[in-house]
């Protein structure tokens, strides 16, 4: 499903124009991004949890040359499914 299809589905579910649904979806994405960048965790009971995953620095290999390289530490967004989504 594309973002446009998702917006159309939200508009149909709420019985609102697509412009209102698009603003709502954009607001959700913006707020979620800001909270995750701040290191917060967002929990929707039954649905799931958005959080930040931290990866430690590690050694890797360049696939073209086989030379060992150092991969820096990083942070990434993650989603953990809640009870209602598990086992779909």
Which pLDDT belongs to residue 88?
74
Which pLDDT belongs to residue 48?
95
| Residue 87 confidence (pLDDT) above 80 | no
pLDDT tens digits, residue range 8-61? 999 999 999 999 999 999 999 999 999 999 999 999 999 999 999 999 999 999
Which pLDDT belongs to residue 86?
87
Q: Is domain 46-88 given the CATH code 3.90.550.10 in the classification? A: no
The Cα–Cα gap between 86 and 82 comes to: 6
Domain parsing of the chain, residue ranges: 1-40, 46-88
Q: What 3-state DSSP class applies to 45?
A: coil
pTM of the entire structure? Answer: 0.77
């Amino acid at each position: 499903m594309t973002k446009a299809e998702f917006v159309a589905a939200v508009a149909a579910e709420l019985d609102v124009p697509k412009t209102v649904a698009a603003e709502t979806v954009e607001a959700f994405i913006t707020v979620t991004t800001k909270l995750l960048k701040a290191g917060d965790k967002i929990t929707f009971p039954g649905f799931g949890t958005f959080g930040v995953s931290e990866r430690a620095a590690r050694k890797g290999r360049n696939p073209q040359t086989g030379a060992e390289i150092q991969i820096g530490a990083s942070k990434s967004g993650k989603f953990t499914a809640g009870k209602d989504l598990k086992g779909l």
